[in-house]
Amino acid sequence: MTIIYVLVPLALALSSFFLFAFFRAVESGQFEDLDTPAHRALYDSPSDFEKGNQNDPR
């Protein structure tokens, strides 16, 4: 029974920390653009992505 007195506050503290971290990430714009990093991985170099060169002749 005494373990509950330890685990419940520990679980509340841990969950509140992760909730705080999530809201801070949302507020800072972490989840604004989810598509660009996935598209950037398809190009050979960053300059190809910036130019929008989808048919690279290399």
> Residues near 40 by Cβ (< 8 Å), separated by ≥ 6?
46, 49
Report pLDDT digits (tens) over 12-26.
Answer: 999 999 999 999 999
Mean pLDDT of 18-47: 83
pTM here is: 0.57
CA distance 39 to 53: 12
Q: Is the pLDDT of residue 5 over 50?
A: yes
Over residues 41-56, the mean pLDDT reads 63
Q: What residue spans define the domains of the chain?
A: 31-58
